[in-house]
Structure 1
Amino acid sequence: MSDAGTWHKSRPRHICPRREAIALQRPADPKATEAATARHLLGRLWREHVRGHLPRLLLAAALMSVEGATLGVLAYMVQPLFDDMFGAGSMEGVGWIAIAIAVIFVARAVAGFAQRLIIVSIGLKVTTALQSRLVTHLLSLDLSYFRDNPPGALIERVRGDTLALQGLASSTVMSLGRDTITLASLLTVMLVNDWIWTLLALVGLPLLILPIIAVQGYIRTTTNASREAAARLSTQLDEMFHGIQSIKLNRLETHETSRFGAEVQRYLRQALRAQRGLAANPAMIDVITAAGFVAVLYYGGAQIIAGDKTVGQFMSFFTALALLFDPLRRLSNIAGQIQAGIASLDRLYAVLEARPTILPPAAPRPVQPGDIRFDEVRFAYGHLPVLAGLSLTAAEGQTTALVGPSGAGKTTVFGLLTRLVDPSAGTISIGGTDVRHLGLDGLRDAIAVVGQETALFDTTIAENIRLGRLDATEAEVRAAAEAASVLEFAEALPEGLDTGVGPRGSALSGGQRQRVAIARAMLKSAPILLLDEPTSALDARSEQLVQDALARLSQGRTTLVIAHRLSTIRDADKIVVLDRGSAIEEGTHAELMAANGAYARLHDLQSAGVTTTL
């Protein structure tokens, strides 16, 4: 496509209502802004994807209560075990205590298994629902959105960020519920045994409040950076595998390995920074609580020796204190995990808030037969003008060829006609109706496109043809395959039309892929046909087969052809020469040759074997 490479320069605005609202109401304090954004995002996630699971969440909460309370009960039972049995030297009641401990462990295991199953299943359902919603929304956006956002970044949104949310919706929720209840039950046991011991053990924890808050901001920043680095990795891999043939032909393996290695190192640095933040909170808690352990050991030991406390009380307290540290460490990282989840959620909703700029009309009109007209059409990609008042007519049922140097606007004409982009001025009409008044579905149903690069999907030949019309019968698919000369090579394959084409059609040759694309267009049977030099990269035999198929496809259709080799459009009903976004000549091949203008000069150069950049 001669001027397709300039499409990425377009930067249409994709509207984000939430972001604009937050910006207008932004508090002076940045932390207040972050808190408001977090509440908004989590509230939206709850309303849109989680609230429907409320009954199962309540059941999981009840099971968490059982699992969390069991550790407190076990710690409490240590006192009679030491005071009434070991201290008294009696085995009386040991059987009942053993049975009680066994029952507690079984209850803990059953409750833990059930609540994990419930929470994980909810997390998976939320994640897959978000993934489906994201893909559906992405497919509704304009082509310009995909020019602005590389595939790797979008894949990271659909996969990486939704998986991060799965962790937020499952492991984080489980930890928050279970560990909070565990913490409460163990603190109760500690307070029952001695409130002064409890104060000594935990007095240093308030000192960690400010450091933990600071670490949470660091975690959010570094997690965001590591996600973006992962997106760049995905983009580079996509480019590398898509361009593997060029890499092989130009011996770029070492260069690409080095380039990828540098990107991996950047990702590694960001990921390690994020992990350092996650590891900081448990380390700080361990340091503070170690001092509490020592204080209780000395103070409590003195009370036991003095006879003010029993060994059972001390062991029960120490058991609860020892069991307290694991849930406390996990809870110290909850805020960081929530921050990481919010960062992912923010990126996901940024995608969901993007709005298409190419909108269907409020009252769409049907496509009527007639000429295609461009009247004083202007268009620019960003600040780069492409069409400067283009006017041309493609008569109904005839073939109109577009020729001209690279960047003249030929491919842009196709994008405007199909409303992948809209003009900044002028009108484009079909049968007298401005295309902006036609329904988008109806407009695109009326147009079939065969380009230089054929979009084939990793399914069978037949299914790739059927994409032209999804309700087509097997007989119709076969008829289209025969008309496009697909059967010529498909019948030689073991599974015929049911043979897989591989990713992007890699199992087929260039000519075979083009014939499949032509069969798809034939099956679509649209009244308007757009051909973007579909034979430019084919060998002589494949080109002849494709040209024959295109001739059959063009019969009775309004056809627009982008031509790079003038020999392929000699028989066109009209040839329009474009230069710098305007039509400078038009006529039949004979008329343009007789005029001895730009077309004739290009033709003579190509006939002499001189390469021209059309």
Structure 2
Amino acid sequence: MKATNPRMSTPTQPIETKILFPWIWRKYLRKYLGIILIALAMMSIDGAALGALSYLIEPMFDDVLVTGDRGAVPMVGLMIFGLFLVRAFAGFGHKVLMARVGQKVNAALQYSLLAHMQRLDNQFFHTNAPGNLIERVRGDTEVTTTLWSQVLVTGGRDFVSIIALFAVAMSVDWLWTLIAFAAVPLLVFPVSLLQRLVRKSSRIAREEAAGIATKLDEIFHGITTIKLNRLEEREEGIFDRILHGFVRARLRSETTQAGIPAMVDIVAGAGFFGVLTYGGYQIIEGQKTVGEFMSFFTAIALLFEPLRRMGRVSGILQASMASIERLYMVFQEHPTIVSPAQPQPLPCPGGQADIVLDNVVMAYDDQPVLNGLSLTARAGQMTALVGPSGAGKSTIFNLLSRLVEPQQGQITLAGVPIEQMALEELRGQFSVVSQDSSLFDETLRDNILLGRTDVSDARLNEILDAAHVNDFLPKLPNGLDSRAGPRGSSLSGGQRQRVAIARALIQDAPILLLDEATSALDAKSEKVVQEALERLAKNRTTLVIAHRLATVREADNIIVMDKGRVVEQGTHDELLAQDGIYSGLYRLQFATEK
């Protein structure tokens, strides 16, 4: 299968809410159904309290203030106080419960998103910048918290409030209610249009935010290059342009969101004008009491406020859905390199297995890398891969561990096609030491053990000696428990390589892959690391990529590659005798070093 470019695409049309909501409910919210139901009950109490308050306004005016019934004053006052007390506890309760649900769901989203991403093909990470992926895991999931903390809380409470207040208004006078809401249907089309604009502008804003994260990642990882080439002002200018793009997109989103409650205010004003004009004459003529009017007026006044919030929440909902849409798109990505349904085990230990590549063709997009490559690495021997940059040497390592797959040809281990092996078993056959070994910002102990707990202190110390890690540990503030720093920045290049070798010794895999493991080191460090590598390679099948031919002179077989093919192979002496490409490379390096 041809290597593809799986960059996450942005849908040309928004993914329908009826798809996104069931997905988020089924995957993350359903397990909190009990808590959500309790919170909804509290929201109902909170919302209904407003209806009860507006209902109590009528007896407060007609039975207490107008008639002057002193005995009713404390009773009505206590009832209103009780309403506020109940509402306070209910409001506090549902906000705390939904905040708990929101944080739990947010954490679950981040965890499952990372877990899913880690299992995607390597090509996915080559075509999607780290900053973009970080923004998905952190930024988009954080935005979705507004869905629980504002949309569900405000929506649930205000929906009940609207029903309760509408019922009170209808009980006072249905015609007044009809007048107050006569202009509401006019909101349907413009609000629908604004919601679509909010969704679109919010999606663009999230993409711009991903651009910010990507640029920051590039700047911080390339800070040395920036300083040495005096690129500070250039990078600041690029970052400023990206920021302005984000600000423009965010302002468009905020503006469209603000438009929805503003339109509700206009409709509310028109409704109040109509009721005051019509109802005022009825009160003057004695057809309605002041208490009835004040009860209705309070209900309508309180009703338009939750309507206004619901309008604002609809905008927030669309902004949240834009982020959920981006998360959903990540989960629609699936790995193509997976274990077979019925894996085939190796017929022998990995250290006794020959590695065979037969007529392998590999290309990234339309760029050919390997062109019918065939080679064999014998079990227990050292096989060196040499040749100019771009010959396809590193691609071979990626193919062996199935980080990528060829378009044609077959790769076998002990006669078993590697695509028929379980991925975990296949990758467990290899230890890799490269020129830029990745270290985590953890202690050296953690970087070497990588979670293993079955290594005794005595065995660990043997490995530290063999990898020459013990040579520099006394110089570190906390010895083996010193932190390596981001990407191992607290260590020198030679120290990082020795930690990587210790890690490989701990893994004790039968096949060793060395990719330019000493190319970036000074002569003194190279000598120490080369000695450690020789210990590591002992009694293992070893494949070595090297530009410095002096480091592979003792290899059992040296394979010379050019343009994705094997052009020469043999021992060091045999290749020198052929007087071909290898001989020319060796003489050139020898003359340069001399």
Give the shorter-chain TM-score range.
over 0.9
Aligned residue number for residue 482 of structure 1: 465
Instruction: Indicate yes or no: 2:133 matched with 1:154.
Output: yes
Q: Is contact 2:3–2:405 with CA below 8 Å preserved after alignment?
A: no
The residue number in structure 2 matching 1:269 is 248
Q: Structure 1: which amino acid aligns with 2:192?
A: I
**Separation in structure 2 between the aligned mates of residue 172 and residue 315 of structure 1, nearest angstrom:** 31
Q: Secondary structure at the match of 2:535?
A: helix
Matches within 5 A, 1:532-547: 532-547=515-530
User: Take 1:542 and 1:378, find their aligned partners in 2: how far apart are those partners?
Assistant: 37
Deviates more, 1:47-56 or 1:392-401: 47-56
Contact kept? 1:12, 1:357, Cα under 8 Å: no
Which residue among 19, 30, 43 is the counterpart of 1:51?
30
Is the aligned partner of 1:609 residue 2:588?
no
Q: Residue 393 of structure 1 is aligned with which of 369, 373, 376? A: 376
Q: Which letter maps to 1:353?
A: Q
Match runs of 1:162-561 below 5 Å? 162-367=141-346, 368=348, 369-467=352-450, 469=452, 471-561=454-544
Contact 1:468–1:520 (CA under 8 A) maintained in structure 2: no
> What corresponds to 1:567 in structure 2?
550
Which residue of 120, 133, 146 corresponds with 2:112?
Answer: 133
Which whole-Å CA distance do the structure 2 matches of 1:15 and 1:492 have between them?
46
Contact kept, 8 Å, 1:14 with 1:356, in 2: the verdict is no
Q: TM-score w.r.t. structure 1 length? A: 0.92
Moved more, 287-296 or 256-265: 287-296
SS of corresponding position for 1:491? helix
Farther-moved stretch of structure 1 (465-474 vs 488-497)? 465-474
- Structure 1 residue 297, shift from structure 2 partner: 2.0
Deviates more, 1:504-513 or 1:353-362: 353-362
Unaligned runs of 5+ in 2: none
- Give matches, 1:588-599, under 5 Å: 588-599=571-582
TM-score (structure 2 length as normaliser)? 0.95
Q: Which amino acid aligns with 1:227?
A: R
Alpha-carbon distance, 1:558 to partner: 0.9
Question: 1:215 is paired with a residue of what secondary structure?
Answer: helix
On the 8 A contact 2:5/2:127 being kept in 1, the answer is: no
Q: CA deviation digits over 1:29-57, x for unaligned, max 9? A: x9xx968x321221122222222222222
Indicate conservation of the 8 Å contact 1:465/1:477, yes or no. Answer: no
Give, as a single letter, the amino acid of the residue that structure 2 aligns with 1:11. T
| Counterparts in 2 of 1:122 and 1:151: CA distance versus 1, 3 Å | same
CA gap of 1:474–1:93, structure 2 versus 1, over 3 A, is: farther
**Residues 184-223 of structure 1 deviation map (CA, whole Å, 9 limit, x = unaligned):** 1111222222222222222111101000011111111111
Counterpart contact for 2:3–2:404, Cα < 8 Å = no
Task: Find the aligned partners of 2:70 and 2:313 in 1 and give their Cα distance.
Answer: 44
Between the two proteins, the alignment pairs up a number of residues equal to 589
- Provide the C-alpha distance between the structure 2 equivalents of 1:91 and 1:568, rounded to a whole number of angstroms: 104
Quick check: 2:6–2:123 contact (8 Å CA) kept in 1? no
Residues 207-241 of structure 1 deviation map (CA, whole Å, 9 limit, x = unaligned):
01000011111111111111111111111111111
Q: What is residue 98 of structure 2 aligned with on the other side?
A: 119
In structure 2, relative to structure 1, the CA distance for the partners of 1:440 and 1:66 (3 Å cut) is same
Cα offset, 1:280, TM superposition: 0.6
> Residue type matched to 2:4 in 1?
R
The one-letter amino acid paired with 1:228 is: E
- Contact kept in structure 2, 1:486 and 1:512, CA below 8 Å: yes
Deviations 1:489-522 (A, max 9, x none): 1122231101111111111111111110010001
Q: Deviations over 1:266-292 (max 9, x none)?
A: 111111111111101011111121122
What is the CA–CA distance in structure 2 between the aligned matches of 1:250 and 1:471, rounded to whole Å?
A: 48
CA distance in 2, matches of 1:14, 1:243: 23
Amino acid aligned to 1:535: T
Distance 2:126 2:282 in 1: 73
Measure how far apart 1:609 and its partner are: 2.4
User: Which stretch shows the higher mean deviation, 54-63 or 211-220?
Assistant: 54-63
What 5-or-longer segments of structure 1 have no aligned partner? 1-8, 24-29
Identity of aligned residues (%): 48
8 Å CA contact 2:6–2:127 kept in 1: the answer is no
Paired residue type of 2:86: A
Q: Secondary structure at the match of 1:488?
A: coil
Match of 1:576 in 2: 559
Aligned residue for 2:472, secondary structure, equals helix
For 1:34 and 1:457, how far apart are their aligned partners in 2? 38
Q: What is the CA deviation profile of residues 357-381 of structure 1, one whole-angstrom value per residue up to 9, with x for unaligned ones?
A: 1121232233432221111111111
Q: Decide whether the 8 Å contact of 1:14 with 1:354 is kept in 2.
A: no
Report whether the alignment pairs 1:82 with 2:61. Answer: yes
2:168 and 2:296 in contact (8 A); partners too: yes
Instruction: Give the Å deviation of 1:15.
Output: 12
Secondary structure in 1 matching 2:419: helix
Deviates most, 368-377 or 498-507: 368-377
Structure 2 distance, partners of 1:134, 1:378, is: 33
Per-residue CA deviation, residues 457-479 of structure 1 (Å, 9 max, x unaligned), is 11100110002855433333332
Q: Measure how far apart 1:421 and its partner are.
A: 1.0
Separation of aligned partners in 2, 1:298 and 1:443: 82
CA distance in 2, matches of 1:320, 1:522: 76
Residue 46 (structure 2) aligns with: 67
RMSD (CA atoms): 2.2
For the residues of structure 1 that align with 2:454 and 2:146, how far apart are their CA atoms? 40
